[in-house]
Amino acid sequence: MTTVAVRGTVLGIESFGDHDAPLVLLAGGPTMLSWPDALCERLAAGGRRVVRYDLRDSGESATADPQAPAYTLRDLAADAAALAHALGGAPAHLAGTGVGGMVAQVAALDHSEAFSALTLAGTRAVAPGPPDEDLPDHDRATMGRLFARPMPDWSDREAVAEFAATGASIRGDDPAAARERAARIWDRTPGTAPPVQMANQLGTVFTRLDCGPRWRERLPTIGLPALVVHGRHDPLFPLGNGEALAREIPGARLLVLDHAAIGIPDTATDAVAEAMLGLGRPTPATPPNPIPEDPPRGRRGGELADRPW
């Protein structure tokens, strides 16, 4: 791991592969570890220089005051563009997960020259807070169980890991993977101050950001090849949010992970990597007048077929 200075701040980054084609992974936790190692390695093996990074106020990036961020969501979007430029070479494929996917949308809209493609995983087209009326909101029962738990002692590594594991169980994610990831995040967090731990573990910094103005109405102007990846059982941003993104971004393809909740499980690594690596490539032509024995679960509009991952 290393650091890169951009726009008056310092971002902690980790690279996979030594290829010329950059793929920048925008965190959603907000640390870089929200992007699984297995997926990063698979994308690098597919010929990409994969760079995942910590957002401001998290991990190994510069930390000021996560409780009162002196920057906006659009500053985070500009950071992504500046990092893409700093990597050199061709424009980067940008991918964002969770709230990082919101940043990625704004980055693609405000800094399109920096990017060659866009992947959005488990996110939605509006800022944190109540969604638009046509978008499904958080699952109330799940959110109630999550927020009913007492906060852990953020200076206690094992307590933080256990807190993450129980949260994953409630959300429908893998508790063992969440425990391991939380312990790694804790280990690489500078200091032990509760605000810093909270910023890393819960992404609370996003609830304090200025996320205006709205960007959903601008989505039809995105001209990049786009892929939307979404877990069918995501309780935080239910599937309808991903479906809306795929409808509103011209030509976007939708990959639904049938057995996933919020994260990208290791069992879906190959499917997600294949879709991301193929982004922008021409879709193979369908043979004329095909007569399949069983009607396939094929493409609907710009969507990829749903696959049972």
Taking only the tens place, the pLDDT of each residue in 140-163 is 999 999 999 998 888 888 998 999
- Is the model's pLDDT at 297 over the cut of 70? no
User: From CA 118, how far away is CA 251, in angstroms rounded?
Assistant: 12
- Is the model's pLDDT at 288 over the cut of 50? no
CATH number of this structure's domain 2-130+192-277: 3.40.50.1820
**How many CA atoms within 13 Å lie on the side-chain side of 234?**
26
pLDDT in tens, 18-66: 999 999 999 987 689 999 999 999 999 999 999 999 999 888 888 887 7
Name the average pLDDT for the chain. 87
Angle at 260 between CA 309 and CA 57, to 5 degrees: 130
Amino acid, res. 150: P
Helical packing angle, 157-171 and 175-187, nearest 10° = 150
Name the nearest CA neighbour of 174 among 242, 238, 268, 305: 268
Domain boundaries, the chain: 2-130+192-277
Strand 115-121 and strand 226-231: the pairing is parallel
Name the band, by pLDDT with cuts 50, 70 and 90, for residue 309: very low
Entry pTM = 0.88
Q: Under a CB-based contact definition with an 8 Å cutoff, are residues 272 and 95 in contact?
A: no
Residue 161 tokens read as: 């890991």
Q: Under a CB-based contact definition with an 8 Å cutoff, are residues 66 and 204 in contact?
A: yes
User: Which residues partner with 2 through β-bridges?
Assistant: 13
Range of weakest confidence among 137-141, 149-153, 204-208, 244-248: 204-208
What pLDDT shows up at residue 298?
37
Q: What is the mean pLDDT of residues 91-99?
A: 96
Q: What is the mean pLDDT of residues 94-111?
A: 97
Instruction: State what percent of residues in the chain have pLDDT above 70.
Output: 85
User: From CA 139, how far away is CA 133, in angstroms rounded?
Assistant: 15
Helix (H) or strand (E) holding 121: strand 115-121
Evaluate the omega torsion of the peptide bond into residue 282 and state whether it is cis, within 30 degrees of 0.
no
User: Which residues partner with 6 through β-bridges?
Assistant: 9
- Is the model's pLDDT at 10 over the cut of 50? yes
Q: Under a CB-based contact definition with an 8 Å cutoff, are residues 62 and 7 in contact?
A: no
DSSP state of 207: G
